[in-house]
Structure 1
Amino acid sequence: MYVAVKGGEAAIANAHRLLADRRRGDRSVPALTLAQIAGQIALAVDRVMAEGSLYDPELAAMAVRQSRGDLIEAIFLLRAYRTTLPRFAASRPVDTAKMLIERRVSATYKDIPGGQLLGPTFDYTHRLIEPEMADNGIVAEPERREPPETTAAPRVTDILGDEAMIEADGIDDGEEPADLTRSPLAFPASRDLRLQALARGDEGFLLGLGYSTQRGYGRTHPFVGEVRIGEVEVEVDLPEFGFPVTIGRVRVTECQMVSQFTGSKSEPPKFTRGYGLVFGQLERKAMAMSLVDRALRADEFDEERRAPAQDEEFVLAHCDNVQATGFVEHLKLPHYVDFQAELELLRMMRAERPAEADSGDDRASEKEAAE
């Protein structure tokens, strides 16, 4: 039965000391600085900010270092810190049409107002390890040029909207959006709550679901209307001033998927939307999010929900990697009493098993041996 484990506190303290030692690594190698982490593995930092629901590159870099690069652990750390912060206002909806763009691509139009802008991307690399990476990652310095001026550009979906070829964009009703970080998720969830959950959701989980919608497990046949990355201004309304005030800028990735058309007796056929918006440069996450968002809108278009990606409760209840990690990793904690209880039950069931069942098993064993 259960036997108390002595010396647990000392063992835990030793484990913490060992963790700190392993985290530091070889002392002959300079320790990583937060500036190095935020600047050189920025995409990892961006993911931590996005799924940690807190835009702060320095804090996210700190979490990445503390977690030894375990991004889900870093996300957990950032969320835990976020709970200590006051919430003093809700910002106005950001206008991504006014984004200061550094990357912008569309798969639906070749020539778009403002032009296509490749920006920093792996899309056209050969996916071969570069030998220069062995030399502390030092590569030949490119010729320094002044960065191009970034200008605002209209969204591609606005072009379709002007022709009434796509469903209308969302309308701001003036109400403060729901806050998933302060209210539990309830079903059915409003779309603003769903988008929050997807923005915080695990990238790999959403990527798998998004992929499933393209392979027939959902009614999506999408085109990338546009993926854009850049900075947007965050504004809040201050009653004392009577007008919105810009409190800063955040770097975001936005994706709008143009999906299959639909129509009704009163509405002509038109394209529908899937939407994704996340902190930082995370276009794979934004694309997966937009695919899943469109799949979860099945009821809006009277579509039959048959695929996992169309099941709101399945998707939203399982996409959060912090919750999933806690539930899976709690299995490492002591379950001695539970296991011993089940073991004793199994022994009793075997002891009470009818004798004829055992003899039948013996005859079957003899027959197998003879064959």
Structure 2
Amino acid sequence: MYVAVKGGERAIEASYRLLDAARRGDPAVPELQVGQLQQQMRLLVDRVMAEASLHDPELAALALKQAQGDAIEAVFLLRAYRSTLPRFGYGEPLDTARMRASRRICAVFKDVPGGQVLGATHDYTQRLLDFGLLCPDAGHAVIQAASGAPVPDAMPSALAALAAEGLIEPQRPSAGDPEPPDITRVPPSYPLPRTARLQMLARGDEGWVLGMAYSTQRGYANTHPFAGEVRVGHVPVEIVPDELGFPIEIGEVELTECQMINQFTGSADVAPQFTRGYGLAFGRSERKTMAVSLVDRVMRADEFGEDRTSPSQDQEFVLPHSDNVEASGFVQHLKLPHYVTFESELQLIRALREAWDARTTVPPRSVEPSTKEVCAK
């Protein structure tokens, strides 16, 4: 941070006080508590957790309150805090087959093992303002009336039948089963393996990833996707302590998982089949994981011998620009003082302008007297 003029530090401190006042708003209105954000703005909290790569609903809600609801600023705060935390180890790979699903839908089969579980969703609501929510405690009656059949602890995959027939690509680790790189510690070197791409997309800005995904549906990557399965639920987290040597469960996290399927007409070496795009993110993040799975699939073009013809297939365009913390910082730093650099450019433009004026200015021409004027003299 530069202080470009005398007294800048005092001005910045005054700005902090103004920010505190703006955050609080009208003192006559009850102050918004972190717990309220955590419980009642869950989708926003989940988005902040996903893009900050830190699963902590309370801290995500705190960041949102501090940032006045600015999701990107909240992601910045939470990711900065994450960078201060010690790392004690790595968890075991999550087994999403063990997910306790609160929602599971399949758009390609009407009847699937375990059934369709709609859960809590805006998908079937009318997009009309509910003015009843302006009244205090308007939702209590709905909460009391909510009920449903119990959901099985584990559900078979909706795509298992296709896999049994060999009509969809099998789920296998990459050749050699290499250790996935940690994008928070290893600088990216393109082209990235799929494991690194999925990490970057999972914490990428939802709007950016959604735009890239939308472009693939509008004809820029020659895809025709179907939502094979979307799941929301809780998955156990396990670690292997050094003193034990076997995995133990330390808790669970809520995740959203999506598998998109796309037609593949085959090649000389691979039979015609459906292929997969995959997305995973913290919390209830259906739109995000669907977008990730669409972009994941089009970035696999080389695996299937497909041409890369669209921006969404260009790793070096999509992935680094998906990081909203870096993008926000690079754009917003333009608000800071740039007096010295601007002055140098101003002098350059003045010099160039003088040279241009000198080249383009036409000297006045001498005007010969007309024949009529000569005769008159």
In 2, distance between residues paired with 1:157 and 1:87? Answer: 36
In the aligned structure 1, how far is the partner of 2:352 from the partner of 2:86?
56
* Aligned mate of 1:166, from 165, 168, 171: 168
Instruction: Tell me the distance in 2 between the aligned counterparts of 1:280 and 1:4.
Output: 43
Q: Normalised by the size of structure 2, how large is the TM-score?
A: 0.91
Q: Report if aligned partners of 1:262, 1:272 keep a CA contact under 8 Å in 2.
A: no
CA displacement 1:153-187 (0-9 Å, x = unmatched): 11222322121111111338675421111111111
Q: What letter matches 1:154 in structure 2?
A: P
Q: Name the stretch that deviates more: 169-178 or 273-282.
A: 169-178
| 2:43 corresponds to 1:40 | no
Aligned counterpart, 2:237: 234
1:17 aligns with 2:20: no
Task: Give CA-to-partner distance per residue, 1:47-79, whole Å, 9 cap, x none.
Answer: 010001000000111001000000000000110
C-alpha contact (below 8 Å) 2:180/2:195 kept by paired residues: yes
Q: Which of residues 277, 280, 285 is equivalent to 1:277?
A: 280
Deviation string, structure 1 residues 93-120 (Cα, Å, up to 9, x no partner): 2111221011111111110000001101
Instruction: Pick closer, same or farther for the CA change 1:356–1:22 going to 2, 3 Å.
Output: closer
Match of 1:312 among 277, 295, 315: 315
1:332 and 2:335 matched: yes
Quote the Cα distance in structure 1 between the aligned partners of 2:253 and 2:4: 51
Root mean square deviation of aligned Cα: 1.8
TM-score by length of 1: 0.92
Q: Does 1:27 align with 2:27?
A: yes
Is the contact made by 1:90 and 1:176 (CA closer than 8 Å) also made in structure 2? no
CA apart distance, 1:214: 0.4
Instruction: State the AA in 2 paired with 1:115.
Output: G
Mapped partners of 2:261, 2:359: distance in 1: 66
Q: How many residues get paired? A: 358
- What is the rounded CA distance, in whole Å, between the counterparts of 1:289 and 1:212 in structure 2? 13
Q: Cα distance, 1:349 vs. partner?
A: 1.3
* Deviation (angstroms), 1:139: 3.4
Q: List gaps (5 residues or longer) in structure 2.
A: 364-377
State the 1:303 CA deviation: 1.2
Matched, 1:184 2:192: no
Aligned to 1:150: 151
**Which deviates further from its counterpart, 68-77 or 134-143?**
134-143
Q: Deviations over 1:320-340 (max 9, x none)?
A: 000000110011111111111
Partner of residue 288, structure 1? 291
Deviations 1:268-321 (A, max 9, x none): 111111000000001000000000111111111111111010001101110000
Partner SS state of residue 278, structure 2: strand
Kindly provide the CA deviation profile for residues 234-283 of structure 1, in whole angstroms up to 9, marking residues without a partner as x. Answer: 11223432321111100000000001214222321111110000000010
Contact persistence 1:253–1:280 (CA under 8 A): yes
Which residue number corresponds to residue 374 of structure 2? Answer: none
Displacement after TM superposition at 1:194 (Å): 0.5
Moved more, 296-305 or 11-20: 296-305
Identity of aligned residues (%): 55
Give the corresponding residue for 1:82: 82
Query: Match of 1:254, SS?
Result: strand
What's the CA shift for 1:147? 5.9
Specify the alignment match of 2:256 in structure 1.
Answer: 253
Q: Is the 8 A contact 1:105 1:116 kept in 2?
A: yes
The structure-2 alpha-carbon separation of the partners of 1:356 and 1:339, relative to structure 1 and needing over 3 Å to count, comes to: closer
Task: Give the letter aligned to residue 31 of structure 1.
Answer: E
Q: Secondary structure at the match of 2:43?
A: helix
Report the Cα distance in structure 2 between the residues aligned to 1:328 and 1:272, rounded to whole angstroms.
Answer: 38
Distance 1:225 1:339 in 2: 54
1:161–1:167 Cα contact (<8 Å) kept: yes
1:215-226 to 2 correspondence within 5 Å? Answer: 215-226=218-229
CA distance in structure 2 between the aligned counterparts of 1:90 and 1:4, rounded to whole angstroms: 45
Structure showing greater radius of gyration is 2
- 1:6 offset after TM fit, Å? 0.9
Residue in structure 2 matched with residue 366 of structure 1 by the alignment: none
The whole-number CA distance in structure 1 between the counterparts of 2:349 and 2:96 is 61
Q: CA deviation at 1:145?
A: 5.7
Letter matched to residue 273 of structure 1: R
Check conservation: 1:157, 1:256, Cα contact below 8 A: no
Residue aligning to 1:368: none
Q: State the partner residue of 2:371.
A: none
- For residue 131 of structure 2, what is the amino acid of its counterpart? P
Matched, 1:123 2:126: no
The alignment partner of 2:267 has SS state of coil
Kindly indicate whether the alpha-carbon contact (under 8 Å) linking 2:4 and 2:337 is maintained by their aligned counterparts in 1: no
What is the CA-CA distance between 1:358 and the residue it aligns to?
A: 3.0
Q: How far, CA to CA, are the matches of 2:159 and 2:84 in structure 1?
A: 39
Aligned to 1:364: none
Structure 2 equivalent of residue 367 of structure 1: none
